[in-house]
Structure 1
């Protein structure tokens, strides 16, 4: 046991000395449906025993999380003391004053908080107007995941451009007689399809916002959308237009698709014998980009944090929970409990347990994080509206109810109205 771990263990023990007022407190915590949350819920008895603080944890699907949080925040009811969400949505919470800066606790209560233990890009992302608004509980980049065995069988090189990606998907679908989809991607409307599409957007030289105006109808964005729609409709699995993160991951893990572009955390599921039928068969590579267009920027950098509600009447206790949940010791236990490659603790990432479980893709993941694009999704207070508007356009394009050009133009107009507010 190293000295840092000893110090954290001692700090946990010291929390037992918390005064009577804290012992009476109950925290209400809203968590995202994710392996991180499953681990935290399993470990809650330890936190409650160590602090005397009771925690009521509510876990909801990611698709329902933001609307539920906004409903509670806008009522100023203090229904939730702590909310978990990704920064794309939380920057709007910060702008609206729904969550409170945590700078004061970062300086005053370091019993479990260790700034040097976080992946730096994760911690730095959760800043708005020079204040930190949360602590990173998990993060991710993206990479291309591909079936090494099928690529070898069919003589396919790892794609470096989106043209090569489409060619590889076509070859696999044809040579497998249609038994294996060439590629699977998230297609469900909203954050799901925009998350997948953003790789194409950046890889084709586009961006979300340019000079303060929406750029989702630019020539580059249009070309990217054509590529996204064509590859998914021609070489994707049936129903892909309705796939979220879980559906997309399961199709790939079950061996029904030869490629996917998705979160680095998916590697943990690919290599888990309890979860996957493709263990040891998956290769991990950078997200493609068209020649000369933002090479290296087509991979994401997404951070999910824990935030303290401004309306909470238990903010000090909430900080104790947030700092405990993101501590090295808790995250190291999380690695053991569930497929959780997205931990934000450097100590957990560099642990023997992490390497044993995730060694097959660890180096690829760290490279992706190093090169991840923090602007992969919009990081403005209007991000939620921009993502929703663009997601509708992508769904219309996938369904063929509107042309790609008209769908993007309509989304662009709506995005500009949101940005002008």
Structure 2
């Protein structure tokens, strides 16, 4: 005879409750980039899950170029692998127009949409409706080692020129002591080297396309800008510059191995943080350098969280992205990680916060850089596109990546600058013809 063991009523009730809770939990998959701000967001998973016990987070954290490739493939094929995507001001309007993103209207009142910076909000909207919520925003600026500049007797004007920067880099380049005169992005990718290179071309007076969408990559302005960039990094850059993107250069500068670095304003919090930076007490900053024109010399970007229309967990995804981009989240990071670590460039309230103002001497400067960048007027000669460091058309992702590889080849010496730009011109002409922009 088989005996049946009966659980006590209290144990049975608890088991049923646990089973019910497990059933009710929704797991959402978040695809994000391995930048420091997102790593902090991932580290606060427990805080979110405690406040939302019915939702768990599954993180996919990837290097920038890999992330973009994975997300673009997934959303274009409606693969449904992700419930939340970390994308930017380039993708949002293009993907929203195609119906790939969930509109983010009717956000809760306590989210305070009006607190979002207007330039950032506009960049993440399609037909007046947000289709992504900004996690952090940035422009670009110049960082430099004040100790090295003071020793050399160099005074930095309010608006440096690229000619001055080259001269300073030459004076301060000290490879025997592992200090490069300057660090700049060299890793190929439309959002890596070409984000910086596009602003350099802009300020040298160049543009990607004329008003009839003819590529201008072999123009004198491009030749001068890329020649300047290649010579500058080869003469005064760190070893292996063609492998360095944003994260790699940030690590070099923070460890004292660069005299000058021109890159994102969003890095300021980390390189001013003594627990993350060896040069926090020797740090100066200035506007991004200019050449022929100030137009387009500094970029405008926002990393944002969006919900693909293919996600079957829309409500849970919305709960997460409103939490991660909220004023309360910024305060949570400030209290747990320090105020220099909060995601910058998204909310007016961040810049009005006394704690942030005291911890971040660069705050107003970075905000002004973001507000003065104009994606609708970023080139000396008129251009048909919107964007400072990118061209706001679907084809640019492949064009920018291809051109970025050719610019990197010029940097490594595998091609001359002239050969690289002639190849880039031909490849871009073919792409634009296939896409119907050109006859």
TM-score bracket for the superposition, by shorter chain length:
0.7 to 0.9
Which structure has the greater CA radius of gyration? 2
Say which SS state the counterpart of residue 173 (structure 2) adopts: helix
Counterparts in 2 of 1:213 and 1:79: CA distance versus 1, 3 Å:
same
- 1:79-99 Cα deviation digits (max 9, x unpaired): 211101222244443354332
> Matched residues in 2 for 1:418 and 1:73: separation?
22
Displacement over 6 Å in runs of 4+: none
> Matched residues in 1 for 2:127 and 2:116: separation?
21
Q: How does 1:368-383 map to 2 (within 5 A)?
A: 368-374=369-375, 375-376=387-388, 377-383=390-396
Other-structure match for 1:192: 192
Kindly state the Cα deviation for residue 251 of structure 1 after the two structures are TM-superposed: 1.1
Kindly state the Cα deviation for residue 262 of structure 1 after the two structures are TM-superposed: 0.6
Q: How does 1:285-300 map to 2 (within 5 A)?
A: 285-290=286-291, 293-300=292-299
Counterparts in 2 of 1:335 and 1:416: CA distance versus 1, 3 Å:
farther
Other-structure match for 1:63: 65
Kindly state the Cα deviation for residue 253 of structure 1 after the two structures are TM-superposed: 1.2
> Matched residues in 2 for 1:333 and 1:378: separation?
35
> Matched residues in 2 for 1:390 and 1:355: separation?
40
Other-structure match for 2:171: 171
Other-structure match for 2:356: 354
> Matched residues in 1 for 2:219 and 2:129: separation?
33
2:115 to 114, 117, 127: 117
- 1:151-182 Cα deviation digits (max 9, x unpaired): 111122326211111111111126x8665211
> Matched residues in 2 for 1:348 and 1:130: separation?
24
2:137 to 136, 139, 147: 139
Counterparts in 2 of 1:296 and 1:340: CA distance versus 1, 3 Å:
farther
Other-structure match for 1:321: 320
TM-score (norm 2): 0.83
Other-structure match for 1:398: 411
> Matched residues in 1 for 2:426 and 2:101: separation?
30
Say which SS state the counterpart of residue 296 (structure 2) adopts: coil
Tell me the C-alpha RMSD between the 2 structures: 2.3
Say which SS state the counterpart of residue 324 (structure 1) adopts: helix
Other-structure match for 1:32: 33
Kindly state the Cα deviation for residue 22 of structure 1 after the two structures are TM-superposed: 11
Counterparts in 2 of 1:355 and 1:399: CA distance versus 1, 3 Å:
same
> Matched residues in 1 for 2:122 and 2:425: separation?
29
Kindly state the Cα deviation for residue 111 of structure 1 after the two structures are TM-superposed: 4.5
> Matched residues in 2 for 1:130 and 1:222: separation?
39
TM-score (norm 1): 0.87
Question: Does structure 2 conserve the Cα–Cα contact (< 8 Å) formed by 1:261 and 1:287?
Answer: yes
Please, which runs of 5 or more residues in structure 1 have no aligned partner? 1-19
Q: How does 1:19-418 map to 2 (within 5 A)?
A: 23-51=24-52, 52-102=54-104, 106-107=105-106, 109-158=107-156, 160-173=160-173, 179-190=178-189, 191-211=191-211, 212-290=213-291, 293-338=292-337, 339-359=341-361, 361-374=362-375, 375-376=387-388, 377-418=390-431
> Matched residues in 2 for 1:341 and 1:149: separation?
28
Question: Does structure 2 conserve the Cα–Cα contact (< 8 Å) formed by 1:117 and 1:346?
Answer: yes
Say which SS state the counterpart of residue 280 (structure 1) adopts: coil
Say which SS state the counterpart of residue 279 (structure 2) adopts: coil
Question: Does structure 1 conserve the Cα–Cα contact (< 8 Å) formed by 2:351 and 2:364?
Answer: no
Say which SS state the counterpart of residue 188 (structure 1) adopts: coil
Question: Does structure 1 conserve the Cα–Cα contact (< 8 Å) formed by 2:29 and 2:84?
Answer: yes
Say which SS state the counterpart of residue 312 (structure 1) adopts: coil
> Matched residues in 2 for 1:112 and 1:41: separation?
23
Kindly state the Cα deviation for residue 21 of structure 1 after the two structures are TM-superposed: 12
